[in-house]
Chains A and B, each alone.
Chain A
Amino acid sequence: MVDGQWLMKKTEAVQASCVNHEPSNINHPARRVMLREKYKTEIDHILSRYPVRRSALLPLLYLAQEEDGYVTEAAMKEIAGLLRLTPSQVYETVTFYTMLNLKPVGRFHIQVCKSLMCALVGSDTVIGWLNTRVGVGPGETTADKLFTLSVVECLGACGTGPMMQINDEYYERLTEDKVDRILADLKRDGTSPLKTGPFMWPEPAGERCQ
């Protein structure tokens, strides 16, 4: 699909959601699992940690994202209700944070750091490798919805660059061969043993580099 067509579709969708006061089918509360039903204990536990309900917003948004793959409009509305906020208070918070996705991402969200420290040791090359291997550019998702490639700012692993984060895991000191192995592992097993464990660098004596 060319850019223009995509934009048209997007515009139509936005207009539709603006004129239609009923939630769209996909996000209709009746059609999805309510967080408060599925995660009641967890939500109660989260709320108990804070004297002010709104503090539970980020933790609940994480729950929602885990459930749906991204933060849906329906989830934002439900969370607003749970925390006695307006939906727009939830939305304004969501849009501030880069880790909260407002649209679906692939099963594996690859985020490559491109900030100076990683760039000095070759992050741009890593982005090129991934681009070729996965077949999509930054900000894009593969047609099979397996991989989304993002280029991001500093992830706090500057001594072990170039590095990338895939879903919850860090992969560091990347080489071309390592990137290939990680991608193959993920496709085959859904996980890779090349992910970083409890971090320490340089490694203490007696621990082997992966």
Chain B
Amino acid sequence: MRQYELILTKNMMQPGYTGLREEYERAGGYQALRKVLGKIPPAGVTELVMKSGLRGRGGAGFPTGVKWGFLPKDYRGPKYLCCNADESEPGTFKDRQLMERDPHQLLEGMVLAAYAIGAETSYIYIRGEFVLGARILEKAIGEARAAGYIGTNVLGSGITADVWVHRGAGAYICGEETALLESLEGKRGLPRVKPPFPATHGLYGKPTVVNNVETLANLPHIVDRGPEWFASIGSPPKSTGTRVFCVSGHVKRPGNYEVPMGITVRELVYEHAGGMRSDKPLKAFIPGGASAPFLTPEHLDVKLDFESVAQAGSMLGSGGVTVMEEGTSMVWAALRLMEFFYHESCGKCSPCREGSSWLTQTLRRILDGRGRTTDLDTLTELCKNIAGRTVCAFGDAEVAPIESTLKYWRHEYEALIKAAAHHAVDGHGSGSGLLMPAGRH
């Protein structure tokens, strides 16, 4: 197995490393902050990040420096930085590890970002279930404040950078950046209509940057070792740096693996994650969290970088790679994800709110042996009327499992529907039913 240089998970891989401030400092921590404060102007930090090619690790992959650059230049009022630690995308569990094992790496990244964009107050919006993560971060913030890395007059520079932990309360959609802001404002987590974007109208209507945990954790290293070094890792020029891929499903060694972007799915699954858990071959995989379309064994040599995965018809997303072995029903898999999306639809846009319910019911009917010949057209039609017709990307996400399984495993749907028809002729089942059978929810 090829070994790669670890960046984000280097410290935590050291035996006995607990992530306390002294340990982080001993490992070279907070040197980037010292290097920047009073020496490099905020715009210079943004420029470094732009040069590094760093792109968002939360899902959309937007260039981080460019995002920062959208903030109004001469704005004098308060600006905010929000760390998106909601980690709600099924298949993703990297941010939890980065926060619980090396919290100061994230905090240093946050202070660097806050300095670059001129935010005196930053919030870490962490998913409510991560109670331990929230406690660890609170403790780390206390340590950092005591050492002068956080608070007023950071390291004597005159800069104010406060960081607070804010716990979510169980809602997938709050990982969407504008829903996150609504939630942080104490409201229901409903995504906002964009534009205006958070860069101009964010938290409390003020200019705001929302960055993912892994994105921010990269910043100390970019400052420390230079943007050129960072840009040489991975698949330059468009996918630079490493990714902490989260491998789940039917593999021998599921878990988090930090590798340079651009290694193949085959290498990640068969070398790092130890290959398939039994003698059954790989049937399908999702490359970037539940919102990413399914791919097939033919795509095993696709490189795990933004462009290559997009070209293969899916997306790199949050880096959650879920592997399924031969024998897994793809209709069942699509339904499981669809049930998730149905449960998590915030209800703001009717195509998503109603559509997720109809899709779930139609899939359930097919899987239960009550499918009808028209059902595949119904599914396709529903998907077409949801994707691209909602305020946020949730609409596109929820149709991904269905459209992609229909594309590659249509015969599984057809077989179930055909069996249902035979069943009906035999007189053992109705074979028909209402579009929304009562009591199926």
Contacts and interface: CB of A to CB of B under 8 A. Distances in A.
Interface of A: 49, 51-52, 54-59, 61-62, 83, 92-93, 96-100, 114-117, 119-121, 153-161, 165, 168-170, 196-202, 204-207
B324 A120 contact: yes
A97 B184 contact: no
Nearest to A198: B100
B3 interface: no
B171 A56 contact: no
A100 B128 CA distance: 10
Contacts of B13: 204-205
Interface residues of B, number: 66
B129 A165 contact: yes
A123 to B, nearest CB: 10
Contacts of B166: 49, 55, 58-59
B127 A202 contact: no
A61 to B, nearest CB: 7
B198 to A, nearest CB: 16
A198 B166 CA distance: 19
- Among B97, B186, B250, which residue has the most Cβ atoms of chain A within 10 A? B186
Contacts of B339: 153
Contact of B328 (A51, A61, A120, A161): A120
Interface string B302-337: 000000000000000000101010001000010011
Nearest to B341: A153
- A contacts with B: majority SS: loop
A52 B101 CA distance: 32
B247 A153 contact: no
B16 A206 contact: yes
A168 B133 CA distance: 11
Contact of A98 (B87, B170, B185, B186): B170
B170 A117 contact: no
Given A52-B185, A120-B333, 4 more contacts: A116-B333, A116-B337, A120-B249, A199-B97
Contacts of A156: 87-88, 92-93, 96, 127, 129-130
A159 B247 contact: yes
A45 B121 CA distance: 15
A157 B255 CA distance: 9
A121 B187 contact: no
B387 interface: no
B370 interface: no
Given A54-B186, A100-B169, A157 B93 contact: yes
23 contacts: A55-B184, A55-B185, A61-B169, A96-B171, A97-B168, A97-B171, A99-B129, A99-B170, A115-B90, A116-B90, A116-B91, A116-B290, A116-B336, A119-B336, A120-B250, A121-B248, A153-B340, A154-B88, A154-B340, A159-B247, A169-B132, A199-B96, A204-B14
A60 to B, nearest CB: 9
